[in-house]
Structure 1
Amino acid sequence: MEEGRSDLKEASRLERALSAESGGGGGDSGSDSGRKKFMRLLRLFFACMVSGGIQYGWALQLSLLSPYSQTLGISHTYVSLTWICGPISGFVVQPIVGYYSDRCTMRIGRRRPFILAGCLVICISVMLIGFSADIGRRLGDTKEHCSTYTGPRWSAAIVYIAGFWFLDFANNTVQGPARAMMADISAGHHGPSVGQAIFSLWMAIGSILGYLAGANAKWHEWFPSLKTAACCDACANLKGAFFTAVALIVISMTVTMLLADEKPLYKVDVDTSSGGGWSAFGDLFKSFKNLSPAMFKVLAVTAITWLSWFPFFQYNTDWMGREIYHGDPHGKGVKADSYNAGVREGAVGLLLCSISLGVTSFLIPKLCRKLTSKVVWSISNFLVFIIMTVMVVVGMVSMKGYRPSLSATLTGSDPTLKAIALTIFALIGVPQAVLFSVPWVVASEVAAEEGGGQGLTVGVLNIAIVVPQLIIALTAGPIDGAFNKGNTPAFGIGGAFAFICAVLALFLLPKTRGISHAAVVASGH
Structure 2
Amino acid sequence: MPAQYGNRAADDITAIVPDEIGVDEESALSPGKVHAEKRAQAGAESGDSGDKEFYPLWKLTLVALPQLGVQVMWCFIGPNAAPYMNHLGVSPSLATLNNVAGPITGFFTGPIIGAWSDRLTSKWGRRRPIILGGLISTWIAGMLFSASEHLFADTTAKIGFAVPMYWVMDVTINILQTPHRALVADLASVEQQVPMQVVFVVIMAIGNFLGYSIMQIYKVPVEHMLQLMALICAINTACILVQFAVAKEVPLKRAENAAKGACAPVLGVLSSVRGMPCLLYHLAVVQCLVWTGNTAWTYYSSQWFADSVFQGDQHAPEGSEAKLRYGEGMHAFSMGGQMRSGFQLLAALSIIVLLLKTSLRPRLIYAPCIFVGAIVSFLAGYIVGHNSAFAIIIFIFSIMPETGSFAIPFGLVATLNKRAEQEGKQVSTALQMALLNCCVTVGQQLCHVVTASIETRMPLETALPVAFLFAAGAPWVRSYDGCIGFWQRS
| TM-score relative to the length of structure 1 | 0.70
- Partner residue in 1 for 2:442: 467
Tell me which of 300, 304, 309 is aligned to 1:324: 309
Distance in 2, matches of 1:68 and 1:336, equals 16
Distance in 2, matches of 1:295 and 1:100, equals 20
Alignment deviations for residues 253-306 of structure 1 (CA, whole Å, 9 cap, x no partner): 334334432233344678338960111332255458xx65x7655543443222
Kindly state the Cα deviation for residue 44 of structure 1 after the two structures are TM-superposed: 5.3
- Partner residue in 1 for 2:224: 237
SS of residue in 1 equivalent to 2:449 = helix
- Partner residue in 2 for 1:256: 243
Tell me which of 455, 472, 497 is aligned to 2:474: 497
Distance in 2, matches of 1:511 and 1:374, equals 12
Kindly state the Cα deviation for residue 432 of structure 1 after the two structures are TM-superposed: 3.1
Kindly state the Cα deviation for residue 217 of structure 1 after the two structures are TM-superposed: 1.9
8 Å Cα contact 2:198/2:411 also seen in 1: no
- Partner residue in 2 for 1:403: none
AA in 2 matched with 1:504:
D
Tell me which of 50, 65, 82 is aligned to 2:81: 65
Residue 342 of structure 2 is aligned to residue 355 of structure 1: yes
8 Å Cα contact 2:135/2:237 also seen in 1: yes
Kindly state the Cα deviation for residue 173 of structure 1 after the two structures are TM-superposed: 0.9
Alignment deviations for residues 61-112 of structure 1 (CA, whole Å, 9 cap, x no partner): 1232232221122222223322212222222112211222223233322222
SS of residue in 2 equivalent to 1:486 = helix
Alignment deviations for residues 358-409 of structure 1 (CA, whole Å, 9 cap, x no partner): 21123336668576544444433332232122212345x32xxxxxxxxxxx
Tell me which of 50, 64, 68 is aligned to 2:66: 50
SS of residue in 2 equivalent to 1:207 = helix
8 Å Cα contact 2:75/2:298 also seen in 1: no
Distance in 1, matches of 2:54 and 2:260, equals 41
SS of residue in 1 equivalent to 2:341 = helix
1:205/1:304 CA distance change after superposition, 3 Å: closer
**1:80-479 correspondence runs (5 A):** 80-137=96-153, 141=154, 153-186=155-188, 199-217=200-218, 234-267=221-254, 271-272=258-259, 276-284=264-272, 286-287=274-275, 292=278, 298-333=283-318, 334=320, 335-364=322-351, 372-394=361-383, 397-398=385-386, 417-440=387-410, 455=429, 458=433, 461-479=436-454
- Partner residue in 2 for 1:8: none
Which has the larger displacement, 95-104 or 455-464?
A: 455-464
Distance in 2, matches of 1:267 and 1:444, equals 23
SS of residue in 2 equivalent to 1:216 = coil
Distance in 1, matches of 2:199 and 2:366, equals 26
1:172/1:478 CA distance change after superposition, 3 Å: same
Kindly state the Cα deviation for residue 443 of structure 1 after the two structures are TM-superposed: 7.3
8 Å Cα contact 1:284/1:459 also seen in 2: no
Distance in 2, matches of 1:154 and 1:420, equals 40
8 Å Cα contact 1:352/1:425 also seen in 2: no
Kindly state the Cα deviation for residue 323 of structure 1 after the two structures are TM-superposed: 1.0
Alignment deviations for residues 326-382 of structure 1 (CA, whole Å, 9 cap, x no partner): 112233323334324322321222222221122112333666857654444443333
8 Å Cα contact 1:73/1:330 also seen in 2: no
8 Å Cα contact 2:125/2:250 also seen in 1: yes
Distance in 2, matches of 1:76 and 1:259, equals 45
| Number of aligned residue pairs | 430
Kindly state the Cα deviation for residue 205 of structure 1 after the two structures are TM-superposed: 3.1
Output the aligned Cα RMSD.
Answer: 3.9
**Uncovered stretches (5+) of structure 2, i.e. residues with no partner:** 1-28, 37-52
Which has the larger displacement, 441-450 or 95-104?
A: 441-450
8 Å Cα contact 2:371/2:479 also seen in 1: yes
1:502/1:198 CA distance change after superposition, 3 Å: closer
AA in 1 matched with 2:67:
S
8 Å Cα contact 2:193/2:415 also seen in 1: no
8 Å Cα contact 2:201/2:407 also seen in 1: no
Distance in 2, matches of 1:82 and 1:238, equals 18
Distance in 2, matches of 1:511 and 1:465, equals 27
Distance in 2, matches of 1:38 and 1:287, equals 30
SS of residue in 2 equivalent to 1:331 = coil
SS of residue in 1 equivalent to 2:390 = helix
8 Å Cα contact 1:304/1:501 also seen in 2: yes
- Partner residue in 2 for 1:34: none
8 Å Cα contact 2:195/2:352 also seen in 1: no
8 Å Cα contact 1:216/1:344 also seen in 2: no
Distance in 2, matches of 1:445 and 1:93, equals 24
Distance in 2, matches of 1:110 and 1:454, equals 12
Alignment deviations for residues 28-54 of structure 1 (CA, whole Å, 9 cap, x no partner): xxxxxxxxx999876655444433222
- Partner residue in 1 for 2:39: none
Distance in 2, matches of 1:276 and 1:493, equals 40
AA in 2 matched with 1:476:
T
8 Å Cα contact 1:297/1:508 also seen in 2: no
Kindly state the Cα deviation for residue 440 of structure 1 after the two structures are TM-superposed: 4.6
8 Å Cα contact 1:445/1:512 also seen in 2: no
Distance in 2, matches of 1:468 and 1:194, equals 26
AA in 2 matched with 1:131:
A
